[in-house]
A and B are shown apart, each in its own frame.
Chain A
Amino acid sequence: MTPNAVFTDLLTLIKYALFTALFTSATNAIAETFVIVFVGDTDSAGYRGAKQGFKEANAQGRFLGHTFDLIHAVAPRDLPEQDVVAIVADQTPLRLLQITERAAGTAVLNVSAEDDELREECRENLLHTIPSRAMRDDAIQQWLRKVPGSPASAQAWHKDFKKYAAAQLNKRYTESFSEPMNDVAWAAWAAVKMVSDLAVRGDASEPSAMLDSLKENLEFDGQKGAAMSFRPTGQLRQPMLLVNDGKLVGEAPVRGVVAITNLDSLGMAECPK
């Protein structure tokens, strides 16, 4: 063998070793099981929304070798002892506050309580994917400026919403549960999806890391066409849908009234001083 041939072989070997190292590190990431708790009734839109979220979380996780497990708890007293990635809660304001205390340091995602007082609490580990009442009111006000005298209600979601692949989510949900997706179902689906996406990106090493990541790194579109994140109050910034007589008539922030990217034009943006 000529020195040149030896050199070439050596080079090939080094290349192969590098390739193998890179390839295995990328594909053989440690498979993990992530546990998310749902607190609430199993016969509820919130539970069904969470189930849809788990289905999609596992569809993502399987490409990376990860799985997501749903543990169900009826009430705060049933919370599991083990460490969990996050808690999705379809509960009253009082019970939500109990859960935040029992599970200090773990993200608790409220999917149904709209009370503004809960946002004013600014609890360190309480996040809200369902819009607050103030957000609904502001969305309606923006609409009445634009279309005076036009009665409308504001919702987080609507079964006829089609833009931003909303039609695809509505279709998936209806196929799973034979009913239209409502606000609470969307908020629960969104809670599971945002947690699972951060988890597969390596942000779930411990519950506090997930909480920090939700508060600081979130960039979740929720099939509503905007990069959504949490306010200091724990409220998820999000576009709202305007509905008149059951029909979808518009989106807020309302174009022509405020900048459509100004999600903080809806509801309280900062914690009270």
Chain B
Amino acid sequence: MTNIQWRKTMGALIHSGLITLILAVSTANAATIYVTNEKDNTVSVIDGATNTVINTISVGKRPRGIGVSPDGSEIYVAVSLDNRIDVIDPAKAEVVRHFESGDDPEAFDIHPNGNIYISNEEDAKASVFNPKTGELVAEIEVGIEPEGVAISPDGKHVIVTSESTNMLHIITVPEHAISQNILVGHRPRSATFSKDNKTAYATSEISGEVKKVDVISGTIIGTGSLGNDKAKPKDLLLTPDESKLYVAGGRANTIYVLDPASLEMLKAIPVGKRVWGLAMTEAGDRLYTTDGVSNQVSVIDTATDTVVATIPTGNFPWGVTIVE
């Protein structure tokens, strides 16, 4: 090999190595985080690479629940005081259309088929909408003050929590019939499923606890206490490898890390005030929390379970979702 050839080869190697390195860095930070600001009528757009707000999108009044379509092409925002869902095109960073959702929409989840399942707090109902057409697909009667909605990864079960009836309603899809009603602690707020669709976890705000339930039999198979009378837990989610369960502790201003098997507490991570919303990257390396009263998002490195950044947002950040 001549000197020139050698230099060319090395140059190519270094060049491709650099590209790989750049790709690796940009892949790790390719997340864009969208946060609803309940009192500003905006959505903050955060660049996951720099942990800074890069855009602020105007939406309807009192934006709360937020989620992404399965193909990542649309972001849905429940704007409670306008009784509708605003649809954001992430490429344009603006609201491109909206559809009526019934009274006071708050929390929702998105089915693998693209339909939105939403709780109608005032009407003791859950509604199913096709967000492409705005068509109401189905309505399911549930308990009083329905709140949290969670859909199993296989799309066969939906959980709706009813806060004043203290129940998790398990709804089968496509029948839209209730298969189980599970009494849990007072004011159940949010739920999440395991990857195998068989187990679900739910928070109860007043009881300050997490219940683990068997989805098919409708039985409670575990209870975890957060051991703090200020803890009014809301969102919860599992890491992709299901080694940890993260719970937003509300007024305890803490993220609780639980062992999903035993529901024992592994760690408590201090964050900002009144933490409610949670979202995790697909790789599970970063957790984003909405600290409502502190007007900020905290970024947690899940390898060390420490806060690595806090990002000022708009007023009262509520919901959070990620586009990768």
B178: A residues at CB distance < 8 A? 63
B229 within 8 Å of A (CB atoms): yes
A219: B residues at CB distance < 8 A? 185-186, 206-207
A261 within 8 Å of B (CB atoms): yes
A220: B residues at CB distance < 8 A? 186
A168 within 8 Å of B (CB atoms): yes
Shortest beta-carbon distance, A18 to chain B, in Å?
A: 9
A209 within 8 Å of B (CB atoms): no
Total number of A residues with any Cβ neighbor in B under 8 Å: 26
A26 within 8 Å of B (CB atoms): yes
Whether the Cβ atoms of A221 and B219 lie closer than 8 Å is no
- Distance of A225 Cα from B274 Cα, bound (Å): 14
Number of A-B contacts (CB under 8 A): 72
- Distance of A221 Cα from B145 Cα, bound (Å): 14
Whether the Cβ atoms of A168 and B121 lie closer than 8 Å is yes
A22: B residues at CB distance < 8 A? 214, 216-217, 219
- Distance of A121 Cα from B180 Cα, bound (Å): 44
- Distance of A172 Cα from B144 Cα, bound (Å): 10
| Closest B residue by C-beta to A26 | B218
B28 within 8 Å of A (CB atoms): no
| Closest A residue by C-beta to B228 | A261
| Closest A residue by C-beta to B185 | A219
B143 within 8 Å of A (CB atoms): yes
B143: A residues at CB distance < 8 A? 59-60, 63
Shortest beta-carbon distance, A36 to chain B, in Å?
A: 17
Shortest beta-carbon distance, A17 to chain B, in Å?
A: 13
- Distance of A106 Cα from B292 Cα, bound (Å): 45
B179: A residues at CB distance < 8 A? 27
Shortest beta-carbon distance, B276 to chain A, in Å?
A: 14
A59 in complex: contacting residue of B124, B163, B206, B230, CB < 8 Å: B124
- Distance of A216 Cα from B185 Cα, bound (Å): 15
A116 within 8 Å of B (CB atoms): no
Whether the Cβ atoms of A200 and B186 lie closer than 8 Å is no
Interface positions of A from 198 to 213, Cβ below 8 Å from B: 200-201
B166 within 8 Å of A (CB atoms): yes
- Distance of A227 Cα from B164 Cα, bound (Å): 13
A171 within 8 Å of B (CB atoms): yes
* B230-241 contact mask (Cβ, 8 Å, vs A): 1 or 0: 101000000000
Total number of B residues with any Cβ neighbor in A under 8 Å: 32
* B117-128 contact mask (Cβ, 8 Å, vs A): 1 or 0: 000011010000
- Distance of A221 Cα from B208 Cα, bound (Å): 12
Chain A CB within 10 A, most for which of B178, B183, B214, B216: B183
| Closest B residue by C-beta to A65 | B181
A165 in complex: contacting residue of B145, B169, B214, B218, CB < 8 Å: B145
B122: A residues at CB distance < 8 A? 168, 171
Interface of chain B, helix or strand or loop or mixed?
loop
B165 within 8 Å of A (CB atoms): yes
- Distance of A166 Cα from B121 Cα, bound (Å): 12
| Closest B residue by C-beta to A57 | B165
| Closest A residue by C-beta to B214 | A22
A64 within 8 Å of B (CB atoms): yes
Whether the Cβ atoms of A56 and B186 lie closer than 8 Å is no
B278 within 8 Å of A (CB atoms): no
B219: A residues at CB distance < 8 A? 22, 26
B157 within 8 Å of A (CB atoms): no
* B186-218 contact mask (Cβ, 8 Å, vs A): 1 or 0: 110000000000000000011110000010111
Whether the Cβ atoms of B186 and A227 lie closer than 8 Å is yes
Shortest beta-carbon distance, A224 to chain B, in Å?
A: 10
B167 within 8 Å of A (CB atoms): yes
* B99-127 contact mask (Cβ, 8 Å, vs A): 1 or 0: 00000000000000000000001101000
Whether the Cβ atoms of B165 and A221 lie closer than 8 Å is no
Whether the Cβ atoms of A63 and B121 lie closer than 8 Å is no
B144: A residues at CB distance < 8 A? 56, 59-60, 168, 172
- Distance of A223 Cα from B166 Cα, bound (Å): 12
Whether the Cβ atoms of B166 and A60 lie closer than 8 Å is yes
Interface positions of A from 117 to 170, Cβ below 8 Å from B: 165, 168-169
B230: A residues at CB distance < 8 A? 261
B180 in complex: contacting residue of A27, A169, A172, CB < 8 Å: A27
- Distance of A221 Cα from B122 Cα, bound (Å): 18
Whether the Cβ atoms of A227 and B183 lie closer than 8 Å is no
A226 within 8 Å of B (CB atoms): yes
| Ranked 4 nearest A-B pairs via Cβ | A22-B217, A63-B181, A26-B218, A221-B206
Q: Which residues of B approach A to under 8 Å, CB–CB?
A: 121-122, 124, 143-145, 163-167, 169, 178-181, 183, 185-187, 205-208, 214, 216-219, 229-230, 232
Listed by A's residue number, 22 A-B pairs whose Cβ atoms lie within 8 Å are A19-B216, A22-B214, A22-B217, A22-B219, A23-B216, A26-B180, A26-B217, A26-B219, A27-B179, A60-B167, A64-B181, A165-B163, A168-B121, A168-B145, A168-B164, A171-B122, A219-B186, A219-B206, A225-B232, A227-B186, A227-B208, A261-B230
